[in-house]
Amino acid sequence: MTFTFSFIKKPASFTKYLQRHLSSKKIAVMASNSSYNVYIPNDTIPTAQTKIKLADRVLISPLVLGTWAWGDKKQWDWNDALDVQAKEAFDMSISKGINTFDTAEIYGNGESERCIARYKANYPTSGSEDIVIASKYLPLPYKLSYPSSLINALRASLDRLKVDCVDLYQIHGPISLRSIEVLGNALAEAIKLGLTKTVGVSNYSIEDTIKMYDCLQKHGIQLASNQVEYSLLRRTPETSGLIAECHKRGIAVLGYSPLAMGRLTGKYSIANPPPKGRNFSNVSMEELEPLLESMRGIAEKRQVSVSSIALNYVICKGVIPLGGARDGKQAEQNAGALGWRLTNEEILQLESHHVTPNLTFFNRMWQHG
């Protein structure tokens, strides 16, 4: 297997980094594993050894651990006990071959990034170098000075993560008052400074994704990803054509809330609904019950968790799921999504249950993709 890398000119420090990580030994390891550009083909069973290539540069696991809950006291009631449990989730994920973690500067006001730094510190250098980290920049409307606003935020994230460079840096949402070209130029500057290996966007529409892609192409940079909410309860990125348009341009689609904020884990029911405030994929448990019944049936037949069914479905659709996990057990259940693949018949069975999420003003403002 041959790997081709296309790089723009980098500072000396970043060049040394690439030389260290693209040694002949590293290439041999890459070649021994299956890796695919953008998504896993329909005829391939996803395993921990299966990798996705972002922008032909960064290899990530087919399942990513989302860390929104880590450090967040307001939404997720974070405390010292949950810190211990999150470390278990981190360790379990690594042990299962899930080496990619998605965070953001806004998660717990930076505490999520600090958590990753603490958990990662327990691993030897050789192992920690294989841990892939993605973070995000929140382009609040009052942030008008570019590229400095983005670059300064990225440097702050690097300080909290205790790394010199992240693997993926993303625009968190389409809420900036500055143009996409201005943000794109700032992302390009971040790569040229060696602060991130690849760049992406989140919650972008088809039109805005293409604009960002075209802007970065002028710098010789590939737009690596668009992170959008995607699950059995929210298939809009698929039905709108966004996933297909991204794949056409070599842009990976990362799916956040693939478990619908817990609704697709089997944990909640009509008698035990999820806590208030979980606005993504907000569907009543009464409406959701027929789908959950089908998921439980498939899970029992395959001897996996209901969560595994939800995550495997996302993978089958050409999307990389960002499954959250608050403890080791949840991380282990998520990992159960690997090693097998839903049949076409099972997918049709799941999709036969039509549900309609309740959209809030926030959803409409935030989610363009």
* Residues with a known catalytic role: 107
58-60, strands of its sheet edge to edge: 35-37, 51-54, 58-60
Specify whether the CB–CB gap between 307 and 259 falls below 8 A: yes
Specify whether the CB–CB gap between 315 and 62 falls below 8 A: yes
For residue 85, give the 3-state DSSP assignment: helix
223-229/35-37 β-pairing: unpaired
Specify whether the CB–CB gap between 166 and 133 falls below 8 A: yes
CA distance 13 to 24: 20
Q: Per the structure block, which two tokens stand in for 40? A: 């896993």
Instruction: Residue 323: name the closest of 308, 342, 301 by CA.
Output: 308
Residue 151 corresponds to which amino acid?
Answer: I
The phi, psi pair for 56, rounded to 5°, reads 60, 25
Specify whether the CB–CB gap between 81 and 116 falls below 8 A: no
CA distance 119 to 71: 13
Specify whether the CB–CB gap between 274 and 268 falls below 8 A: yes
Q: With both helix axes pointing from N to C terminus, report the angle between 111-120 and 148-161 in degrees, rounded to the nearest 10.
A: 40
Handedness of CA 284, 278, 300, 295 (dihedral sign): positive
Helices and strands in the chain, H and E counts: 16, 11
Q: Per the structure block, which two tokens stand in for 27? A: 């290439």
